[in-house]
Amino acid sequence: MHSFNIGDMLLMAETPLFWVGTVTVACLVLSIIYKVISGIRIWVLGNGQLLTPKLGKWAVVTGATDGIGKSYAEELARRGFAMMLISRSQDKLDDVAKSLEERFNVATKTIAVDFGRTDIYQKIEAGLAGLEIGILINNVGVSYPYPEYYLHIPDLDNFITNMINVNMTAVCQMTRLVLPRMTERSKGVILNISSASGMYPVALLTLYSSTKAFMDFFSRGLHEEYRSRGIIIQSVLPFFVVTKMTRIKKPTLDKPTPERYVAAELATVGLQSQTNGYFPHAVMGWLTTRLVPDYLVNFFGARMNRLQRTGYLNRRKLRAAQKNGTSGLKTD
């Protein structure tokens, strides 16, 4: 009986191993090329003229009087959409509506409601009646006044109800009101403005993070349900943007102005069903979900929020002490 030595076995395996290696390298190279081309398509070329009033004459924006919502309203008005603005303050709504009419010569309508309530949707439905809606921006949202442990949140019962109503119920109800007419026309876009905080648990912002994770899952599930019917539903997960909610005042490369963020994000519509919306944020999203272990992201996020909590409480105690004419004490 002929016996094989190790050299014979290696010779027999040489050709299969060569082809396995070749195919592996080829797949890796093709994957890199595909990702580079996709990146250029998304972040350089964009979606062209997808977002125009051909989708429908009207755009609806919730939380439209400040920050990202206001910037969406301005950019969509610049593109020729008539604007339905929905927010809590009628005075602020009137100011934004007047500005849009004067700057972009578009029609505007407003609805003043508090999304912390659940009895508002009949009023909104009446206000939307008869409008050909091409785009819905579910932007309204509320966060913590400062990072805090769950059981230490002031007025926790009402805080829970308000945050769930604003961050979760609103997106479900507004979609319920707008989506049927979009499906009838087989075209329309819904952008749900979630948060990078919804990509992983964020300690001391736990409830906010959880509501934004719901928004992300809700968006991606609906997109799969309705994309074959001509509807685009996109989950938008920004990191920090210069807004009143974030209390960031000075823009940087990774903390853009709302105008800069919105211009970049709208170019991704139709190209990504889930997006960070802005290239530096996309890099941050890739690093924190693909490269850095989850436990490190959670650890450093919690550490940052604990430091912010301590700083906030120390400042609050100092202000109270100054008001009472005494010296402040450091908070643990």
Instruction: Enumerate domains of the chain plus CATH numbers.
Output: 53-291 (3.40.50.720)
Distances (CA, A) of 12 to 4, 95, 229: 10, 79, 54
According to DSSP, residue 254 is labeled S
Report how far residue 111's alpha carbon sits from residue 116's, in angstroms, rounded to the nearest whole number.
Answer: 15
| CA dihedral for 292, 304, 205, 282, sign (positive or negative) | negative
Global pTM? 0.87
Residue 123 backbone phi and psi in degrees, to 5: -65, -40
CB atoms within 10 A of CB 300: 12
- Helix, strand or coil for residue 194? coil
Per-residue pLDDT 10s for the chain (332 aa) are: 455 566 666 666 667 766 777 778 778 878 788 778 888 888 888 887 899 999 999 999 999 999 999 999 999 999 999 999 999 999 999 999 999 999 999 999 999 999 999 999 999 999 999 999 999 999 999 999 999 999 999 999 999 999 999 999 999 999 999 999 999 999 999 999 999 999 999 999 999 999 999 999 999 999 999 999 999 999 999 999 998 888 888 999 999 999 999 999 999 999 999 999 999 999 999 999 988 999 999 999 999 999 999 999 999 999 888 888 755 444 44
Report how far residue 30's alpha carbon sits from residue 25's, in angstroms, rounded to the nearest whole number.
Answer: 9
Active-site positions?
208
Backbone torsion region of residue 67, taken as left when φ is above 0, otherwise alpha when ψ lies between -120 and 50, otherwise beta = left
Residue 257 backbone phi and psi in degrees, to 5: -70, 160
Distances (CA, A) of 96 to 63, 76, 120, 123: 11, 13, 21, 21
